[in-house]
Structure 1
Amino acid sequence: MQELILKGVSRPHRIPPYLYNKLLIKLGVKQWGKKGPSVKLAELRHKHRDYPYSTTSIWDYDWDLLVVLDACRPEWMRAVKGEYDFINTIETIHSVGSHSEEWISNTFASEHSNQMAKSAYVTGNHYAEDLEHSALKEFKSAHDFGSWAYDSASPPANMITDLAIRTARQKEWSKLIVHYMQPHKPFLKRGNTREEYTVDKESLGHLLYHRYFNGELTVADLHAAFTDNLRYVLEEVKLLLENVHAPKTVITADHGQAFGEDGLYDHIPGVKHPSVREVPWVKTSAKDTESLYPREYEAADYDNKTVQENLKKLGYL
């Protein structure tokens, strides 16, 4: 704050544009255009409503391996069920968060420290960085490895799989949580190998929704695009389940994704609505066939500017 004040004193001509930009963000215009005020009103309304469903912590269930898909709706899982042998019955639960930051905060709270002390968490999510010094038995973040940050706003799925398999084979944990960033946008398309991918630039930030508001895309188009991104990550989940020993495995999500239900879009913390709270709960199993030797990644230290740019691409800023 002090630095901000000093900047204002030295460059007073920049104060009005700064305040105007802040106002546009507050009204949602920066993110949603003309729809901004109505979206913000819907968010406010559903932050202060009573939620008719009980939310469930992952720690309330018995599992060895928990695969977390970021921003995955149950119907997307149902749409691809017939394409993957490891997806059978698709149940649902209501998440403790409507946004990754909220889910992480509630899931890894101090009240769960006993379970955390026996658990390893491998993640590609930006909001998990503070868990490095938590009660977790082991914490591994994709943000500490590789050069992906300069190509994509979120870690590619193959990187999470590699890090998770290496962690799993150490066998120093009772529970393993593997948090992929897909099907959350941006949308990634696999190349000729599992390491190769391209990023759909139209899926960065809020561009996708602006195209929908302009009539270029339908709700069905949005669902189809996210479902394809789910297919992208499930190919890596398939490999994970073939290279980890975990008889009790569950595939779930941290939160859902809103597409206009009751005026809501995307996802922010604190919203109490099934579109962002109801997530899949798929029971399966994993067996280490040693069919994959995971790649090693060099350590990397990204500057704050890169982190902020990636958060913008994800639609968080």
Structure 2
Amino acid sequence: MFEQIQKAIRFPEAARRKAAATLVRPFVSDAFSEESHIDTDWDNLIILDGCRYDTFQEHNPFSESVTEGISNASHTTDFLARNLTGDRSDMVYVTASPQVTKCESRFYKVVHVWQDAWDEELRTVPPQSVTKAAIEASEEYPDKRLIVHYMQPHYPFIGPTGRDLETHATFTGGLRKREHPSIWEMLSSGEVSEDEVKKAYEENLEIVLDEVVTLADRIDGKTVITSDHGNLFGERVSPLPVRIYGHPSNLPAKGLTSVPYVELEHDERRSISKGDHEEQEEEHEEVKSRLEDLGYV
């Protein structure tokens, strides 16, 4: 409790956003789906963190059409807990998200790209590093299903508009300064406009989609592209006159559960086999600071 009070004092706008999500949850009419798109048929599953269906639809670079998938989570932690349970020993998870450390024992192998490819200036993992690691993993583990988890379009924004906004919303040494709030706090307090933040978000998506196109051309088997959850830019998600920003956990609002789902054309399928969990040698000492860099308070 004392730690929560300290956080509220240090990050008052973040505390207000959390309180707003708590207030509207009982009044949200939607419910989470019980189905999981993780259990659909694929050899390669590409996850774009925090990607809305409608935004992907506007920027879809593939000839295949995008359909509206329904996520059963509104936060990466919930997504992992609800979708990736049980025996996943036929899967290799290549991830830019430190959240996966919480469930890595379920997979044959987890490749933590964020450990070696974290960009201190951008405060995230550039998508090019994820593409490189995914191609290497597909070659090293040809008999495993491959999950590739890019951090974009999730904040921090790494395109020109987002970098400009970052001059007003920075993190130092993994600890957020009170005078430099996150972009969602700035948006909710009116310091930046919704149009600016949406443009930065769209730039993030375009940047990562360039890498997804590259990756899809380099790996074999059936590839599916989707997201763990969407994102809100101040929408009202209940009858209450309360606006929600970002992606609070356990909030089944349409802007958070509506995600893209694209099946790419493919030729031969990979032959997949289960195996004993490969020993993970890393100790994840930097998880907390990396999550703070990504805007998780």
Same topology, TM > 0.5: yes
The structure with the largest alpha-carbon Rg is 1
CA distance in 2, matches of 1:41, 1:150: 31
Amino acid at match of 1:259: F
Which residue in the other structure is 1:94 paired with? Answer: 70
Q: Calculate the aligned-residue CA RMSD, in Å.
A: 3.3
- How has the CA–CA distance of structure 1 residues 93 and 170 changed in structure 2, closer, same or farther, with 3 Å as cutoff? same
CA distance in 1, matches of 2:110, 2:69: 25
Which residue in the other structure is 2:54 paired with? Answer: 75
Pick the aligned partner of 2:215 from 218, 240, 244: 240
Pick the aligned partner of 2:124 from 116, 139, 154: 154
User: Could you list the per-position Cα deviations for residues 92-140 of structure 1 after superposition, in whole angstroms to 9, with x for gaps in the alignment?
Assistant: 1221211111111112112xx1xx1212111111110133322x22221
Identity percentage over the alignment? 26
CA distance in 1, matches of 2:219, 2:29: 40
Offset of residue 311 of structure 1 = 2.0
- How has the CA–CA distance of structure 1 residues 244 and 47 changed in structure 2, closer, same or farther, with 3 Å as cutoff? farther
CA distance in 1, matches of 2:265, 2:128: 20
CA distance in 2, matches of 1:284, 1:241: 8
Offset of residue 149 of structure 1 = 4.9
Which residue in the other structure is 1:207 paired with? Answer: 182
Amino acid at match of 1:21: Q
User: Could you list the per-position Cα deviations for residues 148-172 of structure 1 after superposition, in whole angstroms to 9, with x for gaps in the alignment?
Assistant: 2533322111111111001111344
Residue 1 of structure 2 is aligned to residue 21 of structure 1:
no
CA distance in 2, matches of 1:242, 1:233: 15
CA distance in 2, matches of 1:64, 1:266: 30
Residue 136 of structure 2 is aligned to residue 166 of structure 1:
yes
User: Could you list the per-position Cα deviations for residues 254-294 of structure 1 after superposition, in whole angstroms to 9, with x for gaps in the alignment?
Assistant: 01111112221111221111111111111214689xxxxxx
Offset of residue 234 of structure 1 = 0.9
Offset of residue 184 of structure 1 = 0.4
- How has the CA–CA distance of structure 1 residues 149 and 198 changed in structure 2, closer, same or farther, with 3 Å as cutoff? farther
Pick the aligned partner of 1:223 from 175, 183, 198: 198
Partner of 1:237, secondary structure, is helix
CA distance in 2, matches of 1:220, 1:199: 12
Amino acid at match of 1:264: I
Residue 24 of structure 2 is aligned to residue 45 of structure 1:
yes
Which residue in the other structure is 2:102 paired with? Answer: 130
Residue 151 of structure 2 is aligned to residue 181 of structure 1:
yes
Between stretches 53-62 and 181-190, larger displacement belongs to 53-62
Residue 260 of structure 2 is aligned to residue 280 of structure 1:
yes
Which residue in the other structure is 1:252 paired with? Answer: 226
Asked if 2 retains the 8 angstrom alpha-carbon contact of 1:70 and 1:254, the reply is yes
CA distance in 1, matches of 2:227, 2:130: 15
Residue 247 of structure 2 is aligned to residue 267 of structure 1:
yes
Partner of 1:261, secondary structure, is strand
| TM-score (ref. length: structure 2) | 0.78
Question: Number of residue pairs matched?
Answer: 269
Q: What 5-or-longer segments of structure 2 have no aligned partner?
A: 172-180, 237-242, 269-280
- How has the CA–CA distance of structure 1 residues 227 and 117 changed in structure 2, closer, same or farther, with 3 Å as cutoff? same
- How has the CA–CA distance of structure 1 residues 265 and 243 changed in structure 2, closer, same or farther, with 3 Å as cutoff? same
Asked if 2 retains the 8 angstrom alpha-carbon contact of 1:87 and 1:282, the reply is no
- How has the CA–CA distance of structure 1 residues 217 and 249 changed in structure 2, closer, same or farther, with 3 Å as cutoff? same
